[in-house]
Amino acid sequence: MNKQLKLNVKIGDKVKVLSGNNKGLIGVITNVSPKNGMVVIDGILPRIKYSKSAQGGTAEKKEISQPVHSSSVMLWDSEANQSSKIGYKFENNVKKRYFKKSGNLV
């Protein structure tokens, strides 16, 4: 039975990679998969795939972004230039996310 994970990141968020070969790199999330708990970050972990047509034509080279587990990333605060955990607070009956270190809204 697959259980969807609670993800603290959304598409368009700027994140920093915390572990793996790309540790320390900063990028923007382009795709989120809550079922697997994976996120795809633009420009991070690209893989090169070569494909040929069925008739034996020329090979094409494509860069495909590989997913990273959501626990390996942390949101990046551009104003404070640091990564931070996320908190939630209500402003005018609207739930908003904020950085716990700086207090800035996401």
Predicted confidence band at 2 (pLDDT cuts at 50, 70, 90)?
A: low
- Residue 29, classed as helix, strand or coil, is strand
CATH topology for 14-50+60-79 is: SH3 type barrels. (2.30.30)
The confidence score (pLDDT) of residue 7 equals: 86
Predicted confidence band at 1 (pLDDT cuts at 50, 70, 90)?
A: low
Are 39 and 29 contacting, i.e. CB atoms less than 8 angstroms apart? yes
Q: Which amino acid is at 33?
A: S
How far apart (Å, rounded) are the C-alpha atoms in residues 95 and 84?
18
- Residue 99, classed as helix, strand or coil, is strand
How do residues 44-101 score in pLDDT, each as one tens digit? 878 888 888 777 778 888 888 889 999 999 999 999 999 999 999 999 999 999 999 9
Place of tokens 């908190």: 87
